[in-house]
Amino acid sequence: MPDASAWRIALPRTAAAVPLARALVRTALADTDAPADRDTAELLTAELVANAVEHTRSGAPIELVVELLASGCQVEVHDGDPSPPGNLSARPAADRPDLWQEHGRGLLLIRALSSDCGHRPTPGGKAVWFTLPAQQTGPGRA
């Protein structure tokens, strides 16, 4: 399945996609010497995949791509809907979710916890992505 630097998997368009995606990210990052924060990568991946499952039309394929970089990792979720996922690049102060709503925090988490994020069109829809830096290892670091 994986090569040395990239992992790619098709996901079902069901809730089962989220734990599958988390497991792939955990496995991919376990194979690196200086991995990005696995917990954060799993959380943000789960948010992207859940959004793709919830907001893409029925039957549209979803694909997860995890790329291991010397500087950390990049995770992309491809789906069949060309519509942008919302504003991933701006961090406006007024962009605060209603504390009583159950939805609306995923993109905020991605913007807040990733080193970079965005979306781009693909021939079949779009890819939504984030990057995380490699964790520092050495004396005094876990």
Q: What is the pLDDT of residues 35-72, one digit of tens each?
A: 789 999 999 999 999 999 988 876 777 999 999 988 89
> Residue 141 above 50 pLDDT?
no
Q: Band of the pLDDT at 78, cuts 50, 70, 90? A: very high
Higher pLDDT pick, 56 / 9: 9
> Residue 3 above 70 pLDDT?
no
Is this structure's pTM higher than 0.85? no
> Residue 28 above 70 pLDDT?
yes
Amino acid (one-letter) located at 130: F
Q: Which domains does the chain have, with CATH numbers?
A: 6-133 (3.30.565.10)
Q: Band of the pLDDT at 1, cuts 50, 70, 90? A: very low
Higher pLDDT pick, 36 / 114: 114
